[in-house]
Structure 1
Amino acid sequence: MDRLEIQTKELMARRPEIDEIDHRHAYLQFQIDQLLIDVEAWNDFLPPRNEAENGGDKDGDGESKENS
């Protein structure tokens, strides 16, 4: 058998495993899409985010740059 024929047979033998990986990938992508929809729904529901009252707190962690 030549090399190409051997590789073809190996791939054909692994087809169920490849199908399972494709199925898992599709399901995970579906879950990601659903989570993105949930995030967008929450963003529409929640009031707009207020800017930090102390001018140095740009990242929202409660500490200004002077305290870091």
Structure 2
Amino acid sequence: MIRYALLIHAASAIVLIHAILIHMYMAFWVKGSIKGMIEGKVSRRWAKKHHPRWYRKVEAEEQKDEQ
């Protein structure tokens, strides 16, 4: 039983470490991501490029509020 627990623990640790490293790599690779995480805001250009559906939704809401 303990052997299985250690195996699951080790496998989970490997997966988690890889996930963290991949997230760090992607955060630095995609320009503007770090700024967005720190400040909580991204440029319109970044949003349109990386999350077009969200960008269209926000644009529609802003136009609706202006009217």
Q: TM-score, normalised by structure 1?
A: 0.48
Q: TM-score, normalised by structure 2?
A: 0.49
Structure with greater Cα Rg: 1
Is the helix fraction higher in 1 or 2?
Answer: 2
